[in-house]
């Protein structure tokens, strides 16, 4: 009898967890973050990158930059266009 009760309680808990998960169509909680790193690695090479991203509850957008080994900076600007991400990549 104890084992059967444990199974029932476990199934009820599992059902509660699955039903509480938001569907993909539900809006996300808005957020906004950014960070930047400007350092030197142990070999003396510059390490520079930055990332910022935000979500207004329905769309995500942002950008990131990376200092490449050839000295150029790659910048990627991205945004959610509904059926995927659209990106604009530039090098300077």
pTM above 0.75, yes or no: no
pLDDT of residue 27: 61
Average pLDDT over residues 62-67: 94
| pLDDT score recorded for residue 28 | 72
Q: Where are the domains of the chain?
A: 27-91
pLDDT tens, 13-53?
555 555 554 555 566 789 999 999 999 888 888 889 999 99
* Contact in structure between 17 and 23 (CB atoms under 8 Å): no
Q: What pLDDT is stored for residue 64 in this prediction?
A: 94
Rounded to an integer, what distance in angstroms lies between the CA atom of residue 13 and that of residue 66? 45
Tokens representing 31 are 């957020």
Mean pLDDT of 50-59: 92
């Amino acid at each position: 009898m104890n084992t059967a009760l444990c199974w029932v309680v476990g199934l009820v808990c599992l059902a509660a967890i699955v039903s509480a998960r938001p569907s993909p169509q539900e809006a996300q909680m808005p957020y906004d973050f950014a960070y930047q790193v400007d350092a030197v690695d142990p070999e003396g090479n510059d390490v520079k990158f930055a990332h910022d991203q935000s979500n207004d509850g329905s769309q995500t957008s942002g950008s990131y930059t990376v200092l490449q080994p050839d000295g150029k900076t790659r910048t990627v600007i991205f945004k959610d266009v509904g059926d995927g991400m659209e990106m604009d990549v530039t090098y300077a």
